[in-house]
Amino acid sequence: MQFEWINFYSEFATKLLEFKDNRAELISDIQSAYSAINMKLPKLESEDSIIDIDPFTVFGLFNKGITNANRIAILESFATVFNIKSKVPDNFDGIPVLNNLKATYYGFKDDRQAADIDNLWRLYESAINLAEKDDAANREIFTKWYDTVHDQLGIRWNITMGLYWIRPYEFINLDSRNRWFIVDPDNMPVEFVNSVKKKLNKVPYAAEYLAIKDACLHALKDGNYEYKNYPELSYRAWIVSEQVNQEKAEVKGKKSSKAAFLRWFAPLIQALRDLGGSGTPAEARAKIIENEQLSEDEINETRGKNNVNKFENEVAFARNYLVNAGYIDKSVYGIWTLTEAGKSVDMTSEMASDIFKNVLSSSPSKQGKNIAALADEEVHTVRYWLYAPGEGSCMWDEFYTSGIMAIGWGEIGDLSIFDSKDAMKIKMREVIDESLSYKNAAHATWQFANEMKIGDIVFVKKGMHQIIGRGVVMSDYEYDDTRDDEYKNIRQVDWTHNGEWPHPGQAVMKTLTDITSYTDYVEKLNSLFEDETEEDAEDVEKTYPSYTKEDFLSEVFMPEEEYEKLSGILRIKKNIILQGAPGVGKTFAAKRIAFSMMGVKDVERVMMVQFHQSYSYEDFIMGFRPSTDDVRI
């Protein structure tokens, strides 16, 4: 197979080497090339003035997510300015491309080290020399500069892409597409797969990169494959991955939603029909278990740090959506009753997905308040998150357009396979940097995969002083291994707002933060998105299920006389201390005694406050007290 782009890329790569010690002229020529085609030069420095550039970033100007027409226009102008004789290619299939928002191989001037760009030029020159003559001396020089550049800001798998661009027959590209392809035994020999798989967990240093390069070329030449060199391998990987992506897109379009509780829509309706049209929540669940022949594991599975019963919680979610859709009546507390529509509906998975979408999209601002992740069956409260889409919010435009939110640390694989934060931390140290603790990183990945829920509200921040968006979580956690960057951990989001708002105070410097418990802070953020034109609009009246003493006694193991004593003390003293070992139900009982005294499960009037662990008994109980050292409080 012939690739016409290779001749042009190789000639241009050789030409660029002439500017190694004359980068001012190179920058001027690039600016002239862009000016000649009336195209704006991409941002290459923190300020508009470009003071230096490396050759890999020059190649990145036409190897990123832009249209083929623009790529051709840039290359035609470069051919004129730099006197390139090879034909300008018009087909770029299989050529790896950079993320538009991470298209430089260096940090901006305030972030990079003084020698970073010089080091990239030295690697570039050593790579071309190694391609011309692969001997021990050239390998030694290449190894020195590759390893030096490896640890610089802005360098990850993109360095292997750059090497491939300049000499595609000599250097293997290890972008996510190729890594995915070459570790599949259907595409490469098992011996090769076994020898390189662990080496691809993180960006390899020179010794391992050269070993992978050599082993791959040897396997291609000796194997019975239709691809015999790196360009043919990359092209085949591109073809196969595009087919896989298309199949995934078709499946995704059919599924519409991955919300786990949608599976209970039809079984819940059928259970209520079998019960004669109505029943208690417990009766409905029992009938579902009988009809669906659920296993003990399915019935008893829990989730989260509070060990919420997954089955019961998801059935409760399904019931709430079916109420909103008009299939279940909620007028009688503690009884789930089918409406006339519910008695006759033929509930399909597609219909369930449509109900889910319609309920969420009908009023995003209301859903933020009514759909939630707490465990009370009839009452669900939302969680609020503060989120940064990449360093400096560099991924926001892509994520907003795609209707997703994503976080990094994709190198450790699918987050759903980890059973604890500690397991995530261990994997991060193993594949990224063993010298770091990854305490905050593992906390973020764990929360993103396990604690964030459909219906949660996400506020998007940029830096410490700006809010740039707001949205509603629309899907469970997904892992997308086809992405070419580190942002493989994804959730679908309905982005309701995009713009710029001043952040109230100074935001935390974390990728993901659960801010639910900071009610004043959440209220300030919510106020940024209130419609100021509707000054006379009335709040929608909220209704909560009733909760009586009888409900409390049915859920909490406590004699009635103890309940009367407890509630009586609270009414008079306004506080009480529940003492007991962890896990015995203190929090559970405290919240429910509050509900019972209010008479309703009004979650907006109940708040959990956690004191710092350093608080002593005296600090908490006695508060201010005389000092024994001098006369002061």
For the stretch 374-393, pLDDT in tens is 334 444 457 899 999 998 88
Pick the last residue of a domain from 254, 271, 288.
Answer: 254
Structure tokens given for 47: 């300020």
* Domain shared by 304 and 428, yes or no: no
Pick the last residue of a domain from 226, 254, 282.
Answer: 254
Domain count, the chain: 5
Residue 11 has pLDDT above 90, yes or no: yes
Helix (H) or strand (E) holding 593: helix 586-598
CB 491, CB 463: distance < 8 Å: no
> Which of helix, strand or coil describes residue 203?
coil
Residue 496's pLDDT is what? 87
Residue 626 is assigned to a structural domain of this protein: no
Residue 225 is assigned to a structural domain of this protein: yes
Residue 338 is assigned to a structural domain of this protein: yes
* Domain shared by 27 and 166, yes or no: yes
* Domain shared by 494 and 408, yes or no: yes
Q: Residues 256-270, buried b or exposed e (16+ Cβ, 10 A)?
A: bbbbebbebbbbbbe
Domain CATH code at residue 396 = 3.10.590
Kindly report the average pLDDT of the chain as a whole number: 84
* Domain shared by 163 and 177, yes or no: no
Give how far Cα 75 sits from Cα of 20, 34, 58, Å. 20, 10, 11
* Percent of the chain predicted with pLDDT > 70: 85
Which DSSP category does 449 fall into? Answer: I
Residue 248 is assigned to a structural domain of this protein: yes
Instruction: Report how far residue 103's alpha carbon sits from residue 19's, in angstroms, rounded to the nearest whole number.
Output: 20
Residue 557 has pLDDT above 60, yes or no: yes
Residue 62's pLDDT is what? 95
* Domain shared by 500 and 427, yes or no: yes
Residue 534 is assigned to a structural domain of this protein: no
* Domain shared by 390 and 303, yes or no: no
From the list 66, 80, 69, 34, the residue with the least C-alpha distance to 53 is: 34
* Domain shared by 142 and 234, yes or no: no
CB 438, CB 430: distance < 8 Å: no
Residue 141 is assigned to a structural domain of this protein: yes
Full residue range of the structural domain in which residue 458 is found? 384-527
Structure tokens given for 10: 């190789």
For the stretch 58-104, pLDDT in tens is 999 999 878 888 999 999 999 999 999 999 999 998 899 987 667 89
* Domain shared by 299 and 357, yes or no: yes
Looking up tokens 């005296």 gives 618
Residue 373 is assigned to a structural domain of this protein: no
Residue 631 is assigned to a structural domain of this protein: no
Angle at 264 between CA 263 and CA 266, to 5 degrees: 95
* Percent of the chain predicted with pLDDT > 90: 42
* Domain shared by 6 and 79, yes or no: yes
Residue 271's pLDDT is what? 93
Taking residues 31-57, report their average pLDDT. Answer: 90
Pick the last residue of a domain from 220, 254, 288.
Answer: 254
For the stretch 303-342, pLDDT in tens is 644 466 788 878 888 888 898 888 998 777 678 999 998 9
Which DSSP category does 332 fall into? Answer: S
Structure tokens given for 221: 């030449």
Residue 268's pLDDT is what? 94
For the stretch 112-171, pLDDT in tens is 999 999 999 999 999 999 999 999 999 999 999 999 999 998 898 999 999 999 999 999
* Domain shared by 70 and 187, yes or no: no
Task: State the amino acid at position 548 in one-letter form.
Answer: T
- pLDDT band with cut points at 50, 70 and 90 for residue 616: low
Residue 366 has pLDDT above 70, yes or no: no
* Domain shared by 45 and 178, yes or no: no
> Which of helix, strand or coil describes residue 405?
strand
Residue 207 has pLDDT above 70, yes or no: yes
Which DSSP category does 279 fall into? Answer: E
Give how far Cα 105 sits from Cα of 57, 85, 156, Å. 6, 27, 9
For the stretch 518-553, pLDDT in tens is 878 888 898 888 653 334 334 444 456 778 888 888
Residue 622's pLDDT is what? 57
Long-range contacts of residues 560-569, Cβ cutoff 8 Å, at least 24 apart: 563/593, 563/596, 566/593, 567/593, 567/596, 567/597
Instruction: Report how far residue 364's alpha carbon sits from residue 358's, in angstroms, rounded to the nearest whole number.
Output: 10
CB 489, CB 428: distance < 8 Å: no
Taking residues 570-594, report their average pLDDT. Answer: 81
Residue 248's pLDDT is what? 57
For the stretch 18-29, pLDDT in tens is 999 999 999 999
* Domain shared by 212 and 104, yes or no: no
Domain CATH code at residue 283 = 1.10.10
Angle at 434 between CA 431 and CA 439, to 5 degrees: 95
Residue 529's pLDDT is what? 80
CB 496, CB 364: distance < 8 Å: yes
Residue 285's pLDDT is what? 93
268 backbone dihedrals φ, ψ, rounded to 5°: -70, -45
